[in-house]
Amino acid sequence: MPPELREIPTEIKTARLVLRCPRYGDGARLHAAIHASLPELKPWAVWAQKPLDVDGYEVSLRQAASRFLTRQELRYLIFDASGDRLLGSTGFHALDWSVPKAEIGYWIATPHVGRGYVTEAVKALTEFGLDIVGFRRIEIRCDPLNERSHAIARRLGYQLDGCLVNNVVAADDPTRLRDSLIFSQVR
């Protein structure tokens, strides 16, 4: 079956969260969440180095919604259970439907750090990806210095596959190379 024909829900609910595909009007909330979190995001995220304005995030989210429809990327925004407050973003990236496999990425706005939201979201995505979508492998990649990020992978039972040395340019300093830890769950 071509990936574009796979039935993939645009919304996933957990006890405290709603993960949903981006839609029209989310740009302003995403802009506010990112700009409130830049000091914490910049060491790890290339995309945080040059933050966009509201219109830029609206365009970015529309492009993400388009990639969701074509199954090139499955991005979900993280909201509280009421669906009113945007807390962060997650999703399946680096999709390879021939395996099938994906990589989960995530971030949470600074005011919501330390409440278990990312763990809850990634747990839901992992179960959804393995049980519903049918991924045979899901990866989490992160910098070894990003202890919060790899703690989530370990907490959720992801296995450390290895460390790629000098694998990426540092998000906040293009003159330095950084390593990447690769964690996985397989079915």
Q: Note the pLDDT tens digit of each residue in 54-72.
A: 999 999 999 999 999 999 9
The arithmetic mean of pLDDT across residues 66-79, rounded, is 96
Q: 3-186 is classed in which CATH architecture? A: 3-Layer(aba) Sandwich (3.40)
Residues 97-110: pLDDT tens digits?
999 999 999 999 99
pLDDT at 5: 83
Q: How far apart are CA 158 and CA 89, in angstroms?
A: 20
What is the pTM assigned to this prediction?
Answer: 0.95
What is the rounded average pLDDT of the residues 109-131? Answer: 97
Q: What pLDDT is stored for residue 161 in this prediction?
A: 98
Which residues 6+ apart lie within 8 Å of 67 measured at CB? 73, 75
pLDDT digits (tens, 9 = 90+) for 5-58: 889 999 999 999 999 999 999 999 999 999 999 999 999 999 999 999 999 999
What SS3 string covers 43-70? CCCHHHCCCCCHHHHHHHHHHHHHHHHC
Give the pLDDT confidence score for residue 4 in this predicted structure. Answer: 81
| Rounded-to-integer distance, Cα 13 and Cα 128, Å | 11
More confident position, 74 or 3: 74
pLDDT at 86: 97
The set of residues, in sequence order, having a beta carbon less than 8 Å from that of 43 and lying 6+ positions away, is 145, 146, 171, 172
pLDDT at 3 over 90: no
Quickly state the pLDDT bin for 1 (edges 50, 70, 90): confident
Q: Which residues pair with 105 in a beta bridge?
A: 91
The predicted structure's pLDDT at residue 140: 98
Q: What is the pLDDT of residue 130?
A: 97
pLDDT above 90 (res 125): yes
Q: What is the mean pLDDT of the chain?
A: 95
Residue 2: which pLDDT band, with cuts at 50, 70 and 90?
confident
Three-class DSSP category at 184: strand
For the chain, how long is the longest CA-to-CA vector? 43
Please report, for the chain, the start and end positions of each structural domain, with discontinuous segments joined by +.
3-186
